[in-house]
Amino acid sequence: MNTSFSMKNLTKGTPPRVPFVAIKNKILGKDYELSLVFATKALSKKLNFQHRGKNYPTNILSFPLDKMSGEIFIEPVQARADAPNFDMSYTQFSKFLFIHGCLHLKGMQHSSTMEKAEQKFLKLFS
């Protein structure tokens, strides 16, 4: 049993089949405590406004809680809508978003270095 990862689905849909635990362990380590939430559009919009001052839902938000724990929120309706813009299926884009969120929790900022890391982990888990 992996107690360092939990997943909660607040939506009516079924979460995509992605190796979340394996990705989390590879990027953040086995001891990192991560909570993944599949959020509603309303919750995504509320969190995005509260934490980033942006009054719209977003496909992913990640929040470090401390050095060894954090939360990732994925809004699946937005992710499904955004996937074609990245030439990916919904499942592949969900994997990409999860990798993106984990890299932010690891301390990475948007950059070419982060993009290279995203591609490396996407290949590793394809």
Classify domain 5-124 at the CATH class level: alpha beta
Each residue's pLDDT expressed in tens, for the chain with a length of 126 residues: 567 999 999 999 999 999 999 999 999 999 999 999 999 999 999 999 999 999 999 999 999 999 999 999 999 999 999 999 999 999 999 999 999 999 999 999 999 999 999 999 999 998
Nearest to 108 by CA among 116, 35, 44: 116
- Ordered by start, the domain boundaries in the chain are 5-124
Is there a contact between 28 and 103 (Cβ–Cβ < 8 Å)?
Answer: no
Whole-number pLDDT of residue 3: 74
Burial string for 63-73 (b: 16+ CB within 10 Å, else e) reads eeeeeebbbbb
Q: Report pTM.
A: 0.95
The rounded distance, in Å, linking the Cα atoms of 27 and 54 is 28
